[in-house]
Structure formats: structure tokens, C-alpha cells
Amino acid sequence: MLKPPKSPTGPLVVMGLSIVLVLYVHTSLAPAFPEMVEFFDTDYSVVSWVLTAYMVSGASVTIVIGRLADMYGPKECYFWCLCAIL
């Protein structure tokens, strides 16, 4: 006999909060641009490479984390990634 499907509310809430956390982490660098320009005595075109490098490194790590989630399970990988961010 088939069991009725579980409610998707829990996983949807977790994924929604994860998306908000990732967006927060990726946009947390932008407010620091004026201070970085002043501190390094440069212009915005040079400092914008910091954000580009941050985004590219985040995309690269996403591939590795996806592979680790395939090998060790998504729950464990999600837990350790969340611990690393917080």
C-alpha cells in the first residue's frame, strides 16, 4: 500500500531560508565598496573585481559541494555548509 506523501512545507521553508542566506552573503560585500575604494586608494572598476572573484569562487565551490552531497548525502552536506557560513 502506498503512503500519502509528506507535506513539503518543512523542506520548502528550509530551502527558502537557505536562498535568503545565500543572497545575504553574496550581497554583503557591496556596502563595503566605498570603504574599500578609500582604503586602497583606487577606483570602483578595480574594487569591482573583488565582487567578481567572490562570485566566481562561490560558483566553483557550489560544484564541489554538489559532488560532496552526492557522496555523503544532502542533509549532512547542508548541515556542514550552514555551519561554515554561520
Three-state secondary structure readout of 50-80: HHHHHHHHHHHHHHHHHHHHHHHCHHHHHHH
pLDDT tens-place string over residues 62-75? 889 889 999 999 88
Distance (Å, whole) CA 60 – CA 58: 5
Contact 64, 80 (CB under 8 A): no
- Tens of pLDDT, residue by residue over 74-85, are 888 888 888 887
pTM value > 0.75: no
